[in-house]
Each structure stands twice: as C-alpha cells, then as structure tokens.
Amino acid sequence: MNDGETELGSEREPSRGEIVTQVTDLAWPALVELLMATLFGMVDMMMVGHIPDGPVAITAIGLTNQPVFMGLAAFQAFTVGATAVVAWSVGAGRADDADNATFITVVLTSVLGVIVSLIGVLLSEDIYKFMGAEPIVIKEGLGYMQVVMGGIVFEAVSMGIAGILRGVGDSRTPMTVNLYANLLNVFGNYVLIFGKLGFPMLGVTGAGISTTLSRAVAMVIFLYIMVRGEKTIRLDLKEHHTLDRELTKKIITISLPAAGEQLVLRGGQIMYARVVAGLGTTVYAAHQIAINIFGLSFCPGQAYGMAATTLTGQSLGAKKPDMAQKYTYEARRQGMYIAIGMALIFVFLGRQLAMLYTSDPEVISQSAIALIIIAMVQPMQSTQFILSGSLRGAGDTRWPLYSTLIGMWGFRVLFAHIFIRYFGWGIVGAWIATACDQTMRSIVIQWRYRSGLWKHASILGESNTSSSTQE
C-alpha cells in the first residue's frame, strides 16, 4: 500500500510536508492520465477536422459524445461508490471487503455494460435525430456512433477497475494503462482515418473503430492486472462466485445519488447541445472545438478531486476526519494554482489552439471567444471539482447531485435557451450560461463542505464522532 495508507493506520499525524507529498503522489498520475486522454481526444478531432467536410465530421463526433457520456453515466456513478467503499476498507484495515468490492464492480459493470452497448447500437440513428443533427451529419457519423456505442462495455469495466485501484491509493496503474491505450488509439486513427499502411480510408468511422479497439485493449490489461493481484487488491474468480449482498448494497447506496448526478449532468448537456446545434453546423463546430479544449481545464480539478476522494475515504475509515479536511484543503490549494494557469492559457492562446483544429476563420474566432469567457471561472470550477471529490469520499454523494441539478438545469440549460433564443447572443450566450453554471455549483458545494456535516459519515457502520465539530 502507499505511504498515505501507512500514515493513516498509525497514531502519528502526517506532517505538513508529508500531506503535500501524499496529495501530490495521488494526484499527479491521475492528472497525467486525464490530460493525456483529453489531449488524445483533441488529436482525434484534429485529425477528422482535416478530412473533406471536416466541420461535418467534428459535429458528428460532438453529437456522439453526449449520448456516449450519458451511456457511461451509470458506470461513473458506480465507480464513485466502489472507490469510496474500497478507500474506507483500506483505512479500516478490511482487506476482504476491498477484494469483495472488486468482484462486485467487475461483474456488474460487465453485465450492465453489454446491455447499454446493445441499446446504444440499436438506437444510434434515432439518437442523432433527437440531437437535432442535420441529414449530412447523420450520414457521415452513423457508423462512428454505432462502433463507439458498441464499445461502451469495454470502457465501463475499465472505469470500474481504475476506480478500485485509486481507492487503495494506486493512481499510477490507471495512468499507465490508459496512456498506452490512448497511444494505440492515435496510431489507429492515423491508419484508419486516412487509409495508411494498406488499410482503407474510413474517415470518421475509422476514428470510432480505433477508439473502441483501444478501449478493449485497456479492459483486457486491467483485468489481467487484477487477476494477478499484484496491486494489494485482487480479483479472485475462484473464491468469489456470488455477490456479497451487504457490500453490494453499500456500494449502490453511495452510487445512486452519483448516478442521479451523472444523469442530470449528461441530460442537461444533451439539451444544451440541442440548443447550440440550432445555431447551425459552423457555429456548432466552433462550439465543439471550444468544448474539446475546455476539457483540458477539467483535468486538474478531477485529478485532485480523485485524490481527495481516496484520502477522505481512507481518513474517515481510520476515524480521522480532521486529517481528511487537511488533505482536501491541500488538494484544493495545488489544484487552484493549475486552474489559474489554465485560465491564462485560454485567454492568451485560445485562438492558436483553435487553429489546430481548422483553418476556417469564423470557427476559430468564435472558439477563441468562448474560451475567454470560460477562463474567468476556472478557480471556482477547480474548487467545485475538488470539494465534490472529498464529499464523495465521505459517501456524501447527494450534494454534488444537488449542485449539478441547480447549476446545469437552473442556469446552463435555462440561460442558454434565453440568451440564444431570445437575446440572440449566439455562442457567446451559450458560454456565459456555462460560466454561470460552474459558478453556482461551486457556491453550493463550498457551502456544504464548510458545514462539516460530511465528517459524520458512516459507510462501514461506524460513526466518526471524534474531531467532527462543524467549522
């Protein structure tokens, strides 16, 4: 186990320097993993952006991403529950519970993943029509959507195992596996999109095939690692033949609000995308490029949020709620510095980044404007991600749901509709609405975290009563 687990299991509290090191050691591999995944996703879009009808291909990928993310929402939520239970089990010294949670995660993500993949493949054309795609977009993108939808099961299992590993404090293995998978994806894109090395030129469909194959390879590697059991936690298929009912219930209880959060988030994003898609293919292409670049700014907050989830869960499992708070505030401090750097990049280099995707001057100009708008809320966005991660580690998954419901539907979707349809602000109105959403979510999450009520969490049936005074 990592050094953080050793400190949590001892009577001595970690020093300031040790806290900084533990947070950094957990966050930086997750940050590298997320940045690489985002950058490789950007490369995907850059590649298809330079084939004939590039804006159409970009729009096809953009409109596919939202329903795919919706399909993965339940698995992201389940991963939250699994990570929290494993982290608590590690902090409390319950290795058997951690192994049981691994078996439960793999079985449920596999079964549900197959179901979601089949539904996605069968309804691909209907989904495009619901999203408001133009006929040319449906024609070009249908093959891409069907292939990517079919690969949801691979991503679901990989996400579950990665969450388990992070729960025990191992964020380097998910980073390594996903890095290799993304490199494979980029190579596959080059070969299949443009028809290199003797392969046919498949365009945007080739990008989908490459994505799905790389996800399948990542899943196989993750399963191999877990079966071998070299990471302090093991998938034992011989010993575990049935799901532990009590532990499954705990994971699902934590995951349900997280599932609600993901459904609220993804559903809101789909409705938001529909509003923006009404502005036309050119404007939506600019919007999608900005979204693609904007995804970079999620990485620091998500990475440090993952660290906060693990360290909060382990601290509360060891009945040290005040240590959980120290870890979270350190994660917030480090994440804030990176968020400010991201904001400066968006303001001063947004136009240059957009030029990597297209040579269309109108698309470039509108993408750059969107990035300047969202740069203004980077610090609040980072805070929201990290404090939400800590709340999830405590099993308090309801308030991230509430904040997302308020921000996404009460601000982003509603304001985008008003700003675009009634004020005529176009892409500017869409991104002001997004900035309002991120700001409101941050306010709600900060209020909840400062209440200190999360310190009373009891995932394993034992209340944390010591050091649990409110702030």
Q: Please name which of 155, 171, 182, 166 lies closest in space to residue 74, comparing C-alpha atoms.
A: 155
Tell me how far CA of residue 465 lies from CA of 187, 309, 357, 388, 457, in angstroms: 53, 20, 54, 22, 9
Measured over the CA atoms of residue 335, residue 262, residue 314 and residue 3, the dihedral's sign is negative
Rounded Cα distance, 164 and 5, in Å: 15
Task: Give the single-character DSSP code of 13.
Answer: P
The pLDDT value recorded for residue 6 is 42
Whether residue 7 is contained in a domain is answered as: no
Percent of the chain with pLDDT over 70: 92
What the block records as the tokens of 29 is 């591999």
| 3-state DSSP assignment of residue 171 | coil
Task: Give the single-character DSSP code of 463.
Answer: -
State the CB neighbour count (10 A cutoff) for residue 463: 12
Whether residue 5 is contained in a domain is answered as: no
Backbone angles phi, psi at 42, to 5 degrees: -65, -40
Average pLDDT over residues 228-255: 78
Rounded Cα distance, 158 and 218, in Å: 7
The pLDDT value recorded for residue 317 is 86
Q: How many domains does the chain have?
A: 1
Rounded Cα distance, 240 and 245, in Å: 12
Tell me how far CA of residue 80 lies from CA of 9, 65, 254, in angstroms: 23, 21, 8
- Do 312 and 366 form a contact (C-beta atoms < 8 A)? no
Percent of the chain with pLDDT over 90: 44
What the block records as the tokens of 319 is 């009945």
The pLDDT value recorded for residue 414 is 96
Rounded Cα distance, 161 and 223, in Å: 8
- Do 255 and 78 form a contact (C-beta atoms < 8 A)? yes
In DSSP notation, 178-238 reads HHHHHHHHHHHHHHHHHT-TT----HHHHHHHHHHHHHHHHHHHHHHHHHHT-SS----TT
Rounded Cα distance, 44 and 323, in Å: 41
Task: Give the single-character DSSP code of 418.
Answer: I
- Greater confidence (59 vs 313) lies with 313
Lowest mean pLDDT among 67-81, 171-185, 349-363: 67-81
Torsion of the alpha carbons at 74, 78, 83 and 86, rounded to the nearest 10: -170
Rounded Cα distance, 278 and 416, in Å: 12
Tell me how far CA of residue 296 lies from CA of 19, 244, 330, 341, 362, in angstroms: 26, 38, 21, 11, 22
Which range, 87-96, 189-198, 265-274, 363-372, is most confident? 363-372
- Do 177 and 241 form a contact (C-beta atoms < 8 A)? no
- Do 397 and 257 form a contact (C-beta atoms < 8 A)? yes
- Greater confidence (323 vs 95) lies with 323
Q: Measured in whole angstroms, how far is the alpha carbon of residue 312 from the centre of its chain? A: 19
Whether residue 463 is contained in a domain is answered as: no
Whether residue 448 is contained in a domain is answered as: yes
Instruction: Give me the domain span that covers residue 303.
Output: 18-456
In DSSP notation, 61-73 reads HHHHHHHHHHHHH
Lowest mean pLDDT among 242-246, 261-265, 289-293, 425-429: 242-246
What the block records as the tokens of 179 is 């890095």
Backbone angles phi, psi at 356, to 5 degrees: -70, -20
Whether residue 165 is contained in a domain is answered as: yes
Rounded Cα distance, 271 and 85, in Å: 33
The pLDDT value recorded for residue 457 is 67
Residue 12: is its pLDDT beyond 70?
no
The pLDDT value recorded for residue 358 is 81
Residue 471: is its pLDDT beyond 70?
no
- Greater confidence (249 vs 61) lies with 249
Residue 148: is its pLDDT beyond 80?
yes
Average pLDDT, the chain: 86
